[in-house]
Amino acid sequence: MIRSAKTAVAWLICAAAMAMVGCSTAYDAAQQSRGAISQGLDQATEAWGKYDRAKQLRIASDAPTKPEAVAALKAYRDGEQAAAVKGINGTWAAVVSLDASLAAWKAGSKGGLAPALAAAYARLAEVVAALTAAGVPIPGGGGR
């Protein structure tokens, strides 16, 4: 389980470094990194799904009456849940952009790959740091 945002970011840097090992070209390295990013995001998404379910059930169970439960659930869904969904979807969007940059590189337009890769890593780091701060355990993240 990741215990801090620092550990989460360190894990991402480590994953990026590992992805670079053995890659002969920048394109291969970026492609490997893309795989690492989407894998990390998959794990983060799955962990958040479990956390979200447990949290909502706890909110609903703790409220003594139906109106209070409905109000508490609405507050959670408008706040923390909406932010998490926005972050995760935004990171997937960055991965899709990275895919486009990889395709552009192959077509001869190489300028966009590095910024797209950096953006995807940054978005994933934000998601992992935010989830870690919220207490979401992300498997395979180190810091056990």
Chain residues that interact with other proteins, rule: CB under 8 A: 45, 49, 52-53, 56-57, 59-61, 63-70, 73, 77, 81-82, 85-86, 88-90, 92-93, 96-97, 99-100, 103-104, 107
C-alpha R_g of the chain: 18
Nearest residue (CB) to other proteins, 25 versus 66: 66
Shortest distance (Å) from residue 64 CB to other proteins: 6
At 51, the amino acid letter reads Y
Between the two ends of the chain, the Cα-to-Cα distance in Å is 5
Shortest distance (Å) from residue 1 CB to other proteins: 20
C-alpha of 78 from chain center: 20
Nearest residue (CB) to other proteins, 56 versus 143: 56
Shortest distance (Å) from residue 139 CB to other proteins: 16
Shortest distance (Å) from residue 33 CB to other proteins: 16
* C-alpha span between 102 and 110 (Å, rounded): 8
Torsions phi, psi for 61 (to 5 deg): -70, -40
Nearest residue (CB) to other proteins, 93 versus 122: 93
Q: Environment class of residue 107 by beta-carbon count within 10 Å: exposed (0-12), middle (13-18) or buried (19+)?
A: exposed
